[in-house]
Amino acid sequence: MFNCRTSTPMPSNNAYESALPPVPGCPPGGPNSMRSSANSTSNRSATKRNSFASSWIGSRNSTRSILMTSLSRATADWSVDQYASSRVPSGNCSNSIPTASFPSRTRSTHNWPPPWTRCSEKARTVFASWKRGSQNSRGKPIPPQTRRNSLSKRTEATDAMAVHQLVAGARLGDAITNEALALARIFREWSPQASIFCPSKTLDPKLHAKVMPAETFDQIADPAKDTIILHLSIGSSIHELYRNWSGARVILYHNITPPGWFSAVAPATAQLLRSGLEEVRQLAGTAHRVWADSRFNANELEALGYGPVEVLPLVIPLDHLELPPAPHIRAVADGSRANLLFVGRGAPNKRFEDLIRIQAALERMEFPTRLLLVGSFGGTELYASLLQGMAKELGLRHCHFEGPRPQAELNAYYTAADLFLCMSEHEGFCAPLIEAMVFDLPIVAFDACAVPETLAGSGVLVKEKDNPWLIAEMIRELQENPTLNQAVRDRQRRRLSEYQKRDLTAELNALLGDLPH
């Protein structure tokens, strides 16, 4: 039985079979053809399927040798083209996963690693009763952060200044909202008046205690001494407050997804993105300081005439990841299948269809998996419907659309997962990569936009993804080769340690400097 859960009912597949337009940068057979060849596959002759299957079967030792050679490279930048000698089918197989059975291969038992090996001290007590006596298959837990972002008082040069933030929207679990809240904790140490402002219509009621309606801005902010930071990510009415502000101004750019990804499935979102892109062009030269949360984003602004742009890497508060994971998610970690996790909003640029193709390849290779897709498809229900239909026609009974989840449940998914898989083609930073490192998950991610910058030489970076069989073989090798798996996670731990040791207060003081008033 097809088991593909969603948080809200989705429209019928048939009405939207060709809803997604071709998008620049997508591999051949992109969104428009997610379902186009599924039916034709079932009509192929058994002889042709068996021939195709035979062409895939290659040397297991050859693949392992290539992977181990890649491991020795300093950057761990593993390109899919290195797997050519394993004789995986050439060409674009994204829509032609064969239904022939492959020879059975021995695979390791995926016992669920005891949760306390990857959680905080607080969470260990909660999980201790789940699986006492289990061996730690993930190695030692990540050591606690040695230096948290300090909340020391600001320098004397800026003592009188309150720093306010303007955001286009505020909702629980949103990366920009989380960053604004983390920055606000520091700014309020400098001045209790420091606030976050957001248009009322895009303000989550659950955040009313922490984020102010934009209508109250003039009552609190003083242009004679205060500074505002505009989080620029999409078109919004909040930009008017920025334009009318006569005091010191800072732009913090989070990148804007190209509208073409949303034109067919979410026209309203596409229009907001177009508006945001136009705003980016119009706001060039209007700020006293310009920041971006990655060098990739900074380069984009500089190309639009913004001049020198400073990089403030995305601030990801990690305290919420220490919440005890929700026990009822335990069912997805029964050890019978390898759990592949992706966390992100249901946007076409995230390329969920690539994740589904990879899972289909793994299933045909007789490597049982469970694909856990956690994130909201609010506003992109058509896209979700197409994805559900694709998973059903490929016979994937363990492809789960889990929808948005509260933090305790999200932590449980991270804890239950065996690998974090990201095939997104547009990311300004990709916060879930850092979160996956916190839970000690090996990461396989597509080399796009700011992803390699965020990984910084850790994880497994996929250069090409036209052929899902190649990535599937890589994933299986990571799961069955303990030495390789450990080496990948060791590099990620070093990257996470570097990120955790940031002195955010010092960074902000240096970036703000002596702003004019």
Fold designation for 14-39+114-128+136-142+323-480: Rossmann fold (3.40.50)
Distances (CA, A) of 119 to 146, 320, 343, 412, 419: 16, 11, 18, 10, 16
The CATH class for the domain spanning 156-314+502-512 reads alpha beta
**Domains of the chain, residue spans:** 14-39+114-128+136-142+323-480, 156-314+502-512
Rounded distance, CA 469 to CA 361, Å? 6
Question: Looking at the chain, how many residues does it have?
Answer: 517
Model-wide pTM > 0.95? no
pLDDT < 50 regions, the chain: 1-158
**Residue 336, pLDDT score:** 87
**Residue 160, pLDDT score:** 61
Which of 330, 409, 401 shows the shortest CA–CA distance to 3? 401
482-500 and 60-71 helices, crossing angle to 10°: 30
The Cα diameter of the chain in Å comes to: 79
**Residue 309, pLDDT score:** 96
14-39+114-128+136-142+323-480 shares its CATH topology with 156-314+502-512: yes
449 DSSP assignment: T
CA angle 428, 431, 433 (to 5 degrees): 110
Residues 372 and 1 sit within 8 Å (Cβ to Cβ): no
Model pLDDT for residues 441-455, shown as the tens digit of each residue: 999 999 999 999 999
Distances (CA, A) of 507 to 9, 252, 313, 447: 45, 14, 10, 28
**Residue 517, pLDDT score:** 61
